[in-house]
Amino acid sequence: MTQITAPHEQISAEAFADEIRDYLLKGQGVKPAEAKVEDVYVAAATAVRNHLLDAWAKTREDMVSGNTKAVGYLSAEFLMGRQLRNALLNAGLTEQFNKAVAELGFDPHDVITAEPEPGLGNGGLGRLAACFIDSLASIGVPAFGYGIQYQYGIFRQEFDDKGRQYERADYWLANENPWGHTDYNRDVRVNFGGHVEDNNGRRVWNPDWSVRAVPVDYLVPGYESGRVNTLRLWTAKAYHEIDLRAFNRGEYYQAVENQVKAEDITKILYPEDSTPQGKSLRLQQQYFFVAASLHDAIRTFYPGQDKPDMATFPNKITFQLNDTHPVIGIPELMRILIDEYGYDWDTAWDITTRTFNYTCHTLLPEALEIWPARLIRELLPRHMEIIEQINERFVSLLQTLTDDSAKIDRMRIVTSGDDPQVRMAYLATAGGTHVNGVAELHSQLLKDVTLRDFSDLFPNKFTNVTNGVTPRRFVRLANPRMSDLITEGLGTDTWISDLSKLEGLVPLADDGEFVHRFAEVKRANKRDFAGFAKEHYGFDVNPDTMFDSMIKRLHEYKRQSLKILAVIARYASLKSGETDVNTFTPRTVIFGAKAAPGYAMAKETIQLINNVSRVINNDPDIQGKLNVLFPWNYNIELSQNLIPATELDEQISQAGKEASGTGNMKFAINGALTVGTLDGANVEIRERVGYENFFLFGMTVDEVEALYAEGYDKGMSRQYYENDPRLKRAIDMVADGTFSEGDRSTYQNLVNDWLSKDYFMTLADFGAYMDIQSEIEKTYADEKKWFRMALLNTARTGYFSSDRSIEDYLERVWMTGPLPEDPQLKAREN
Ligand code: AZC
């Protein structure tokens, strides 16, 4: 893609300072001398936003009038992180901002950090959506991100004095939100409940209640592309705010009941990473944002038309279903086409299946959403009828393709029985054109295991798009020192929009001086992180230790417990003198992880990590050589500070469970070495960086399967405990109260699980994990070797840019045709 600099009109720092002064007065009502840093943040954000508005309008105009199919990315989560610095970078205004703010007497860093972080996502899936919309805009693809503006994002995690997690509401909208423009004039009515009637053969849905969907628009500026896309997050409002008669009777709660019911829909992000709960409200959320988005796309592409030619809809926009959360969009589009526009079933089905594609992000069966048919019928009676018909026709189709009735039964979208269930992943697979996994191994396992029957009968539906991460936020912004060094090494900064250029660093791995400077960058980043950790958490971090990080949601399959058991084992051997404190490689082990509030085992693991940290960090025998840090409330800001400082990244999930991982990509690009299993995108990272530059350990998918077949989870783990004294000692310490002030019951669930079930085979992989850690320490002792390996990780992971992922979607899934001409390029040519 053509990239040119100076995308938006360029202004001087003085002019930018004037604009900030102007917004301070007009927006905040203050002069610079009276302004608080929060005022300056709002004013500066407003100024940047205003600079993007022309390009935003132009991008929209080109999208509607152009011939390029647009992309609608439907996602219940967008984990954006703070916006200001990214907007400045992409708009080319960073320097002006720095100078202007300083001129007004403020520290640019303070202004940047005055922004609250919107946490509208749980983890990988939500962050991926945010990376993708950055890349779509940077490549210049006309696109909408569609989602929900939750009033409360992912909970704020805190730890109590026993090291237990507790959750606080994240009221991120407590103050002004200069980025989101609430567009009350473009609201959409979303209906629920009621019943369906027959009217001369036509089905008519008479809903019972409605909610007003109001869009809040966020600008998504591309990096030097001149394009500004839209992230449209819907918020729920009531049509009837207050019942005055009830109020006058003194029934204050009843008076606002409708309002509460409506606004509850977008009140809070479900804080689970995988298992669905709170079913009814969650289904309401899903339908709410998907229905609003589909209507929005129709009115955008057929402005003012009562009877649009919807056969052209799939040529105007293609909708990507980010996991199963938006899959209710399939029956909704069918309903719109049949009930609102009068199309026959076959035409409607053809349009619908050409409009949607589905990305699956999991391999855990429990994470594939399944809705009770009775719940869907209650909330969306017409949709349930349509789903039943889709199911019947699908079963008929299957009967023409196979005689295997057991297989047909397994593939039913609506299960048979007294309490039928709707399998959303199957509905998505049947109702869209393509299905993709998020890393090669994951896509293969989807075909071979999770959706095997479907891939047997519809092999062409399946494809892979390996995930990626945006180099703007996770390299250029997070790691400015390394970015400067890369630019110097390559003699250009074009790698920021074409990360494959990092390959040009490979020869520099044999340039001792360059490798030395690369190591210096890491050391400086470690010192910065030590300062950050002190300031935000009060931790004392010794930058002369190896920084070893494991940051991701807390889940048994990810195996934080493997890491903490290894730490305990190492601690025990230091205590007993088997490992010599004086020659041991000093390490700082850093965890970041939230547990779903109802996930007891995950919470117990958090408590254990915190208490291991307390005991080891305060043990004088260890002399500060081994430290465990667990900063609470892991979020995007913490990741941007920690990733550039990390030397060793832990990606140690049980093989066959992590769909892809994206943290693994961020770390490798930033020059950390990975210790990992052959799981998710680790496989591809290892292939690209070279086997010798990756610390591989543990069982493969096949070995895991073989061990299950032997009955591992029926009590075999105990053998591993009995046979490995290091493991036995570590588990015994957890059981005997070493990390619970003598209380033997605190970690009972964990210990019992390890010794009786251990479904994710932590114990079985323990030996290999300890061995690879020794090898890591040996390698680390040879600094030149380590940083040569680290540099090769950076040089060879350009593939994991989300720009590349988007290019793959364009080619394999969306097939949008040629992109519109780059407006900046055109301007320059003229
Ligand atoms: C995650 C996967 O667990 C992770 O492996 C992957 O990298 C990421 O999606 C992006 O594809 N899945 C989720 O976050 N799932 C949910 C429901 O949050």
Q: DSSP class of residue 160?
A: -
Which tens digit of pLDDT belongs to each residue from 85-127?
Answer: 999 999 999 999 999 999 999 999 999 999 999 999 999 999 9
Of 127, 666, 796, 804, which is the active-site residue? 666
Position 804 in a domain: no
Which tens digit of pLDDT belongs to each residue from 562-584?
Answer: 999 999 999 999 999 999 999 99
- CA of 575 relative to ligand 1 center, distance in Å: 39
Q: DSSP class of residue 620?
A: G
Minimum CA distance residue for ligand 1 atom 4: 661
Among 44, 50, 38, CA closest to 21: 44
Token digits of residue 220: 């998504």
Residues 111 and 164 in one domain: no
- CA of 597 relative to ligand 1 center, distance in Å: 18
Rounded average pLDDT over 35-48: 97
Q: pLDDT at residue 9 above 80?
A: no
- CA of 417 relative to ligand 1 center, distance in Å: 31
**The one-letter amino acid at 516:** H
Reduce the DSSP state of residue 188 to 3 states and report it: strand
The answer to whether the CB of 232 is under 6 A from ligand 1 is no
Minimum CA distance residue for ligand 1 atom 13: 125
Q: pLDDT at residue 742 above 60?
A: yes
User: Which of ligand 1's atoms lies nearest the C-alpha of 467?
Assistant: 11
Rounded average pLDDT over 699-722: 98
Do residues 760 and 703 touch, judged by C-beta distance below 8 A? no
Q: pLDDT at residue 453 above 70?
A: yes
Q: Is the dihedral of CA 24, 26, 29, 33 positive or negative?
A: positive
Residues 289 and 404 in one domain: yes
What pLDDT score does 7 carry? Answer: 45
Residues 110 and 122 in one domain: no
- Host domain of residue 110: 1-65+82-116
Q: pLDDT at residue 825 above 70?
A: no
Rounded average pLDDT over 714-726: 98
Residues 102 and 225 in one domain: no
- CA of 229 relative to ligand 1 center, distance in Å: 24
Position 101 in a domain: yes
List residues bridging with 204 in a β-sheet. Answer: 197
Residues 152 and 50 in one domain: no
The answer to whether the CB of 467 is under 6 A from ligand 1 is yes
Identify whether 666 is a catalytic site residue: yes
Position 501 in a domain: no
Query: Which DSSP string do the residues of 423-491 spell out, in sequence order?
Result: EHHHHHHHHSS-EEESSHHHHHHIIIIITHHHHHH-GGGEEE----B-HIIIIIIT-HHHHHHHHHHHT
Rounded average pLDDT over 34-61: 96
Which tens digit of pLDDT belongs to each residue from 311-335?
Answer: 999 999 999 999 999 999 999 999 9
Of 51, 361, 625, 796, which is the active-site residue? 361
Minimum CA distance residue for ligand 1 atom 9: 125
What pLDDT score does 276 carry? Answer: 59
**What is the CATH number for 360?**
3.40.50.2000
Identify whether 555 is a catalytic site residue: no
What pLDDT score does 231 carry? Answer: 98
Q: pLDDT at residue 2 above 50?
A: no
Position 290 in a domain: yes
Last residue of a domain, one of 116, 142, 176: 116
Position 509 in a domain: no
- CA of 358 relative to ligand 1 center, distance in Å: 14
- CA of 606 relative to ligand 1 center, distance in Å: 20
Cα–Cα separations (whole angstroms), residue 354 to 267, 349, 358, 436, 814: 33, 8, 12, 15, 10
User: Which of ligand 1's atoms lies nearest the C-alpha of 128?
Assistant: 10
Identify whether 662 is a catalytic site residue: yes
Q: pLDDT at residue 827 above 80?
A: no
Residues 6 or more apart in contact with residue 685 via CB below 8 angstroms: 664, 665, 668, 674, 676, 694, 797, 800
Which tens digit of pLDDT belongs to each residue from 760-772?
Answer: 999 999 999 999 9
Mutation probe of ligand 1 site: the residue of 274, 285, 361 with most atoms within 8 A of C-beta:
361
Identify whether 728 is a catalytic site residue: no
Residues 60 and 129 in one domain: no
Among 211, 237, 233, 189, CA closest to 340: 189
Residues 32 and 139 in one domain: no
Strands 695-696 and 673-676: parallel
Position 829 in a domain: no
Residues 409 and 549 in one domain: no
The answer to whether the CB of 660 is under 6 A from ligand 1 is yes
Q: pLDDT at residue 241 above 90?
A: no
The answer to whether the CB of 679 is under 6 A from ligand 1 is no
- CA of 661 relative to ligand 1 center, distance in Å: 7
Q: Is the dihedral of CA 506, 510, 513, 518 positive or negative?
A: positive
Strands 188-192 and 195-199: unpaired
What pLDDT score does 5 carry? Answer: 37
Position 503 in a domain: no
What pLDDT score does 774 carry? Answer: 97
Alpha-carbon distance 329 to 356, whole Å? 9
Residues 14 and 159 in one domain: no
Residues 44 and 188 in one domain: no
Helix H, strand E, coil C: the string for 112-155 is HHCCCCCCECCCHHHHHHHHHHHHHHHHCCCEEEEEECCCECCC
The answer to whether the CB of 653 is under 6 A from ligand 1 is no
Do residues 228 and 141 touch, judged by C-beta distance below 8 A? no
Mean pLDDT, all residues of the chain: 95
Angle at 151 between CA 147 and CA 152, to 5 degrees: 105
Rounded average pLDDT over 691-709: 98
Identify whether 325 is a catalytic site residue: no
Domain count of the fold of the chain: 3
Reduce the DSSP state of residue 191 to 3 states and report it: strand
ipTM exceeds 0.85, yes or no: yes
Q: pLDDT at residue 344 above 70?
A: yes
Rounded average pLDDT over 54-63: 94
Rounded average pLDDT over 162-166: 98
Q: DSSP class of residue 10?
A: P
User: Which of ligand 1's atoms lies nearest the C-alpha of 122?
Assistant: 18
Which tens digit of pLDDT belongs to each residue from 208-224?
Answer: 999 999 999 999 999 99
Residues 228 and 361 in one domain: yes
Residues 455 and 558 in one domain: no
Give the pLDDT band (50/70/90) at residue 277. low
Instruction: Report the percentage of the chain scoring pLDDT > 70.
Output: 97
Which tens digit of pLDDT belongs to each residue from 166-201?
Answer: 999 999 999 999 999 999 999 999 999 999 999 998
**The one-letter amino acid at 194:** G
- CA of 109 relative to ligand 1 center, distance in Å: 31
Minimum CA distance residue for ligand 1 atom 18: 273
Position 512 in a domain: no
The residue assigned the tokens 């001409």 is: 821
Instruction: Quote the pTM value.
Output: 0.96
Of 68, 318, 662, 816, which is the active-site residue? 662
Which tens digit of pLDDT belongs to each residue from 459-513?
Answer: 999 999 999 999 999 999 999 999 999 999 999 999 999 999 999 999 999 999 9
